[in-house]
């Protein structure tokens, strides 16, 4: 009689254990399926944001190409969009990150609507504005620097990478400048008038990065695929990095605006065409930008 009770007890125990095992398997499978669906949805959302940003950049390209005289407002706005695209490409795919990019996209969309209306009005006035274009560009450049400074003090784009314990950069832009005898710099798109190429970027604040002396490598490639500047090499294992200059700075765990210059080689003009600018943290490319001289 005792053996029968023991046998029944074992069977009941095995049945309960089997039921628990099956239930656990079903629950685990459901969690995994939900995780995969969420990741796929976030990836699709990221792709849609990237598509919208590229479409916006194309609209600016069209508006810029229709102007006989360069509209610096449009050029600067295109640079901000390209910076956001570069940052989105290397960002983590999560809900917090996508929300920030969507918010920034909506702000840029409103800015674009306003700028395109202003651009249509400026087309009519281009004949009168041509003679004063250089001074206007200087004023717009100074206003842009002031606006960027306020923006970084309040809502910095660098927050999208604040959880990574590495230096990152935002707002990378490159352009040519004419340098007056007084030291004043005037942006230009003409290769024959340019004295220097100016590269500006912001080292993003990151509380996880140790403060102190830091350095980043700047690489500038001309239309003939030549590395401008020092063109020196660094070896990282089996990888080699050719860089134009080293940006050394004291990092204090807050946004830091940096500008660097590359001059002409002798009396030779800069090449006409598309220039590429890359920023490297050791051998990792953390930002990229393109601009054109004509």
Q: What is the pLDDT along the chain (294 residues), one digit of tens a residue?
A: 555 666 676 666 666 766 666 666 565 655 556 556 666 666 777 777 778 778 878 887 877 777 655 678 778 877 887 887 887 777 666 656 666 776 777 777 777 777 777 766 666 565 555 555 556 666 666 666 555 554 545 444 444 444 457 899 999 999 999 999 888 999 999 999 999 999 999 999 988 888 999 999 999 999 999 999 999 999 988 889 999 999 999 999 999 999 999 998 878 899 999 999 999 999 899 999 999 999
Whole-number pLDDT of residue 155: 45
DSSP character for 71?
A: -
CA angle (149 as vertex; 145, 152 as ends), nearest 5: 135
Whole-number pLDDT of residue 158: 45
Question: How many contiguous H segments (helices) and E segments (strands) does the chain have?
Answer: 4, 10
Give, in order, the Cα–Cα distances in Å from 218 to each of 37, 80, 113, 234.
40, 19, 34, 12
Whole-number pLDDT of residue 95: 59
Whole-number pLDDT of residue 82: 85
Which of helix, strand or coil describes residue 267? coil
Domains of the chain (ranges, CATH numbers): 1-155 (no CATH), 162-294 (2.60.40.10)
Q: How far apart are CA 158 and CA 100, in angstroms?
A: 11
Q: What is the pTM of this model?
A: 0.45
- pLDDT, tens digit (0-9, with 9 covering 90-100), for 165-186: 789 999 999 999 999 988 899 9
Q: How many CB atoms lie within 10 A of CB 34?
A: 10
Exposure of 273 in the CB half-sphere (CA atoms within 13 A): 8
Whole-number pLDDT of residue 243: 96
Give, in order, the Cα–Cα distances in Å from 167 to each of 164, 193, 272.
8, 35, 33
Whole-number pLDDT of residue 41: 67
């Amino acid at each position: 009689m005792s053996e029968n009770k023991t046998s029944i007890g074992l069977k009941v125990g095995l049945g309960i254990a089997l039921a628990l095992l099956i239930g656990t398997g079903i629950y685990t499978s459901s969690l995994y399926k939900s995780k995969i669906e969420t990741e796929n949805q976030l990836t699709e959302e990221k792709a849609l944001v990237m598509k919208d940003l590229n479409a916006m950049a194309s609209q600016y390209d069209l508006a810029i190409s229709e102007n006989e005289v360069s509209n610096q407002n449009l050029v600067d706005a295109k640079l901000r969009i390209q910076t956001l695209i570069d940052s989105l490409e290397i960002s983590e795919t999560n809900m917090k990150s996508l929300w920030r990019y969507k918010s920034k996209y909506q702000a840029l969309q409103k800015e674009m609507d306003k700028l395109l209306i202003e651009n249509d009005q400026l087309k009519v006035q281009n004949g009168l504005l041509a003679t004063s274009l250089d001074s206007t560009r200087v004023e717009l450049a100074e206003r842009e620097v002031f606006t960027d400074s306020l923006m970084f003090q309040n809502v910095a784009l660098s927050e999208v990478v604040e959880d990574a314990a590495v230096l990152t950069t935002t707002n990378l832009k490159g352009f040519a400048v004419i340098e007056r005898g007084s030291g004043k710099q005037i942006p230009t798109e003409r290769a024959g008038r340019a004295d220097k190429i100016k590269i500006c970027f912001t080292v993003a604040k990151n509380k996880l990065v140790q403060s102190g002396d830091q350095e980043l490598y700047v690489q500038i490639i001309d239309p003939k695929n030549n590395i401008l500047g020092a063109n020196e090499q660094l070896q990282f294992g089996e990888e080699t990095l050719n860089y134009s200059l080293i940006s050394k700075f004291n990092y204090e765990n807050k946004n830091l605006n940096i500008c660097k210059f590359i001059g002409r080689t002798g009396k030779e003009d800069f090449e006409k065409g598309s220039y590429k600018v890359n920023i490297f943290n050791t051998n990792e490319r953390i930002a990229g930008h393109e601009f054109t001289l004509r």
